[in-house]
Structure 1
Amino acid sequence: MPLPFLTADRDFDADDDIDDVALPFADHDQWRRPYRPGPWRVGLAALALLLASFVLLAAVVIAAAGAVGGALFTFGFALLIIGIALRVLRMGVWVSRAGLRHVRFFVTRTVPWPQAGTVRTVQQPVRWLGLPRTVQGQALVLVRQNGEQATLLTDRNADFLSRVEAFDRAADTIEAWNAEYAGSLQAV
């Protein structure tokens, strides 16, 4: 069964020219993540799904023992774990012709291209795997037309830890989408 939220729509090779592959999708109206989720994010989701399978097994055992209320509660808890795992896999930056969407665990923000100013890579202290500890690293920052700044990606998050080339490729791709749509809309 294909899981489209786990993969980018196109595999990038190291020898590809970024100008040729920045917007390689036929349908620019569909929301796409221009990079693959990292091993930390996929591993965390896999562990959560493994835990959910054990909780589902416990729900079956509880139901076989005759405690329907406990089985329903345990089944609901397993569904909650599965929902958390799927949300963790959806987290990241998504792009389409409509704009840029930043999906976090509890909040999803969509910025239409006319409101998006510039997207650039900067050196700054970034959070390591989203934890309170900060280290020096790179961040992809969106500066809106009204001056607000939002950090979209870092090279130390769950998608790009120990994958510097993947971060550079993702940052270049998102910058290309911004140049294609925000730049062309501002010129009009």
Structure 2
Amino acid sequence: MPLPFLTADRTFEAASESALPYDDRERWRRPYRPGPWRVGGAALGLLLASFVLFAAVLIAVTGSVSSSGFSSAGVVLGVGVAVIGGALRLLRMGVWVSGSGLRQVGFLATRTVPWARVVSVRTVQQPVRWLGLPRTVQGQALVLVPRDRRAEDTAPLLTTHGLDFLGRPTAFDRAADAVEAWAAEYRRG
């Protein structure tokens, strides 16, 4: 007898059902799991941060009593904290949905679009950036069509060659379907 609550091999329908009857639809949630490229990049960033923090401790311990040893340890400590913050922000990036709208969290900026401004969310074939780099390849993108078409609204929400879905086309299809379902449900009102 399989125990679906203990494995990650659940079907999509079972994964989308809420185990709790009072699940709050107004809470922001990511309708997909972060991909291995995103998690691996954040893990490498945290590994680098551990070495930087260890270096800060060594500089502080072996530094002279003068203020120069402690100030350089403080600078290295600040770099380590910045690397940790960057790794955590990398994990937070992506598309989030709630009953109030759709939120696209980037590394430096977050954009929220209320459902009232959304005309449609659809999947299109177009050139997409490979792992967020300047190189483009042919792929699929989930795009938002807002009521008032502004320049910042033209960026794709999800792509098949992004950090979350590179090499995982079925995961992209499920995530795109989930975001489209949220849009269809809340656009109606």
Query: In 1, distance between residues paired with 2:18 and 2:134?
Result: 35
Q: Distance in 1 between matches of 2:85 and 2:39?
A: 14
- What is residue 162 of structure 1 aligned with on the other side? 167
Distance 1:175 1:23, change over 3 A: farther
In structure 2, the residue matched to 1:142 is 144
1:178 to 163, 183, 186: 183
1:24 to partner: Cα distance: 7.9
Structure of greater Rg: 2
Give 1:147 deviation, angstroms.
3.2
Runs of 4+ in 1 over 4 A off after TM superposition: 22-25
* d(CA) in 2 for partners of 1:95, 1:24: 19
Number of the residue aligned with 1:48: 45
What is the CA deviation profile of residues 2-36 of structure 1, one whole-angstrom value per residue up to 9, with x for unaligned ones? Answer: xxxxxxxxx6834638xx93888721111000001
35, 38, 49: which is aligned to 1:38?
Answer: 35
Q: CA deviation at 1:157?
A: 0.2
- Structure 1 CA distance, aligned partners of 2:120 and 2:166? 24
What do the CA deviations read for 1:88-118 (whole angstroms, capped 9, x no partner)?
Answer: 0010000001100001111100000001110
Q: Is the 8 A contact 1:155 1:167 kept in 2?
A: yes
* 1:21 is aligned to 2:23: no
Distance across 1 between alignment mates of 2:104 and 2:12: 29
Task: Describe the shift of the 1:116–1:15 C-alpha distance in structure 2 as closer, same or farther (beyond 3 A).
Answer: closer
Mapped to 1, the partners of 2:12 and 2:70 lie a distance apart of 58
SS at match of 1:166: helix
Give the Cα separation in 1 of the matches to 2:27 and 2:80: 31
CA distance in structure 2 between the aligned counterparts of 1:23 and 1:113, rounded to whole angstroms: 22
- Confirm or deny: 8 A CA contact 1:91 1:103 kept in the other structure: yes
8 Å Cα contact 1:90-1:103 kept in structure 2: yes
Q: So what's the TM-score if we normalise by structure 1?
A: 0.86
Q: Over aligned residue pairs, what C-alpha RMSD do you find?
A: 1.9
Number of residues paired by the alignment? 172
Paired residue type of 2:159: T
- Is the Cα–Cα contact under 8 Å of residues 48 and 81 in structure 1 kept in the other structure? yes
Distance change >3 Å, CA 109–CA 23, structure 1 → 2: farther
- Structure 2 gaps of 5+ residues are 1-7, 64-68
Contact 1:40 1:159 in 2 (8 A): yes
| CA distance 1:24–1:34, change in 2 (3 Å) | farther
Q: Over residues 133-173 of structure 1, what are the superposed CA-to-partner deviations in whole Å (9 max), with x where a residue is unaligned?
A: 11110000000012343310000000000010100000000
